[in-house]
Amino acid sequence: MHTQMLSFEDSAIRNAGFSGDVGEKEAEEMNGEEQIVAWVGIDWADEAHQVWENNVGTGGRQNYAVKHSGESLQEWLIELRNRYGGKRVAVV
75: alpha, beta or left, given left = phi > 0 and alpha = psi -120 to 50? alpha
Owning domain of residue 56: 8-91
Q: Is 49 part of any domain?
A: yes
Question: What's the sign of the alpha-carbon dihedral 29, 35, 41, 46?
Answer: negative
Residue 4 reports pLDDT greater than 60:
no
Share above pLDDT 90 across residues of the chain, in percent, rounded to a whole number: 61
Q: Inform me whether the pLDDT recorded for 18 exceeds 80.
A: no
If one counts the domains in the chain, the total is 1
Looking at residues 66-88, what average pLDDT do you find?
94
In a domain, 3, yes or no: no
pLDDT band at residue 31 using 50, 70 and 90 as cut-offs: low
In a domain, 74, yes or no: yes
Global pTM? Answer: 0.62
Q: Which amino acid is at 63?
A: N
Average pLDDT estimate for 19-31: 52
| Residue 1 domain flag | no
Residue 32 lies in a domain: yes
Residue 60: pLDDT band with limits 50, 70, 90 = very high
